[in-house]
Amino acid sequence: MKKLRLSFFPLFLVLLVVFFTVSFRFWYSGMTDTKSEGGQSVGAIPLVIYCAYLWLQRIHTRIRGVHLMCLAWALMMPFVNVMGHGVSSGYVLPLLFPMLFEVTYMFAQNGAKVVRRLCRLFLLVALITTFFFLQTRNTGDEFRQTNTIFFPLLTLPWMLLYKGEKRRFIILCIFTVLITLSLKRSSLLVMVGFWLVYFLVILKNRRNKLLPILALIGLLFLGWRAYNMADDAMGGVLSERINREETNTGRNRLAIYEQTEEMIDESSVDEKIIGHGHNTAKMDSPLQISAHNEFLEILYDYGILVFILYLYFWSFVIRRCWMLYRIRSEIFFPYAVSLCIFFVMAMVSQLVLYCSYFLYLVMFWATVEGYLKSQGLVEKRKPQ
């Protein structure tokens, strides 16, 4: 893949801002039960067209690795949705994942300049979405949970690209407060994950292992005490949210998984191969709820062929994280945090279905990939 001229970059940023703005409105309208994916797809159309234009201009004849996966995804997704019976936004939204990965990657090959600009963009997004998250908490019940925590949370890997141990520690503390306020169990799991990664990185980089271990024990104790105090002050709301194994609709997640697995088993051979269409797990389920598991959601909505591509993308992200660990890169910590977010949200929710979530991570991984390429750090036999 060739890099793109920076003259194309300003319009790319403008279209990203427009799409993010539409996505924020989409989720905010959901707080009043009026959200419609149609609005999101309208915001995605100009971004998809522009990315397709740039991609077709610079596409290389020899495509391999993750880039071949993105091309296959982009070609197969319209076919899947034409053959299925998914919602109309399925023709546009699933195309953002491969196209934004490729175009961001091509821009990021220009080096640190693009990385800095994208970091500033996502810093702005982090500030706006944090305000947005705090606003949604003031709607209705004071102690309600809200999915809008994922907007600022998914900017965390971008924020961690800013160097400096003290700065990173402060950023993690800020996100810890926001996550606790959200009352979302999946975000709490992410929080545990990124603190464990943080202290593992410190242990790896320091000769004196005792101090970081004591600091971790102290932090866990203080966190436990702060949690109990906050839970008592809120009348047990936090413990109720963590202990209750139910979704917002009152359905047990295991029951949802079993229902989705049953729907997959009852599908025809053709439906198993090419899927049923965008967001059909929710449409077809007697429970009227999405699969709440990325693997089951993709398998039902998009079929086995796209599911294989999705598994390949997982292997790509894991291998790249391991490579960054081996070369002791500064990028390893934010990349590991992104993988932690990816894992937790994939297991208990769905990212690809809600592309406004997933694109934060997709663009991060593509930026890292393009930057590594510009620095000559991507090995020839590794995914490009």
User: What's the mean pLDDT when you consider all of the chain?
Assistant: 82
Lowest mean pLDDT among 69-78, 104-113, 307-316, 375-384: 375-384
**For residue 245, what pLDDT band results from cuts at 50, 70 and 90?**
very low
Confidence (pLDDT) at 37:
58
Confidence (pLDDT) at 10:
93
Tokens at residue 193, please?
């994950």
pLDDT higher than 70, residue 181 = yes
pLDDT tens, 304-354? 999 999 999 999 999 999 999 988 889 999 999 999 999 998 988 878 877
Q: Do 299 and 307 form a contact (C-beta atoms < 8 A)?
A: yes
Q: How far is CA 247 from the centre of its chain?
A: 20
pLDDT higher than 80, residue 370 = yes
Side chain identity at residue 339, one-letter code:
L
pLDDT higher than 80, residue 361 = yes
pLDDT higher than 70, residue 203 = no
Beta bridge partners of 109: none
pLDDT tens, 131-159? 888 887 765 555 555 678 888 999 999 99
Confidence (pLDDT) at 246:
45
Q: Where are the domains of the chain?
A: 6-374
Lowest mean pLDDT among 123-137, 178-192, 245-259, 300-314: 245-259
pLDDT higher than 50, residue 235 = yes
**For residue 166, what pLDDT band results from cuts at 50, 70 and 90?**
confident
Q: Do 86 and 279 form a contact (C-beta atoms < 8 A)?
A: yes
Q: Do 290 and 350 form a contact (C-beta atoms < 8 A)?
A: yes
**For residue 237, what pLDDT band results from cuts at 50, 70 and 90?**
low
pLDDT higher than 90, residue 215 = no
Confidence (pLDDT) at 229:
63
Select the more confidently predicted residue: 362 or 219: 362
pLDDT higher than 70, residue 101 = yes
Select the more confidently predicted residue: 69 or 90: 69
pLDDT higher than 80, residue 59 = no
Q: What is the 3-state secondary structure (H, E, C) of the chain?
A: CCCCCHHHHHHHHHHHHHHHHHHHHHHHHHCCCCCCHHHHHHHHHHHHHHHHHHHHHHCCCCCCCHHHHHHHHHHHHHHHHHHCCCCHHHHCHHHHHHHHHHHHHHHHCCCHHHHHHHHHHHHHHHHHHHHHHHHHHCCCCCCCCCHHHHHHHCCHHHHCCCCCHHHHHHHHHHHHHHHHHHCCHHHHHHHHHHHHHHHHHHHHHCCCCHHHHHHHHHHHHHHHHHHHHHHHHCCCHHHHHHHCCECCCCCEHHHHHHHHHHHHHCCCHHHHHHCCCCCHHHHHCCCCCCCCCHHHHHHHHHHHHHHHHHHHHHHHHHHHHHHHHHCCCCCHHHHHHHHHHHHHHHHHCCCCCCHHHHHHHHHHHHHHHHHHHHCCCCCCCCCC
pLDDT higher than 50, residue 360 = yes
Burial of 99 (0-12, 13-18, 19+ CB in 10 A): buried
Confidence (pLDDT) at 339:
95
Confidence (pLDDT) at 209:
59
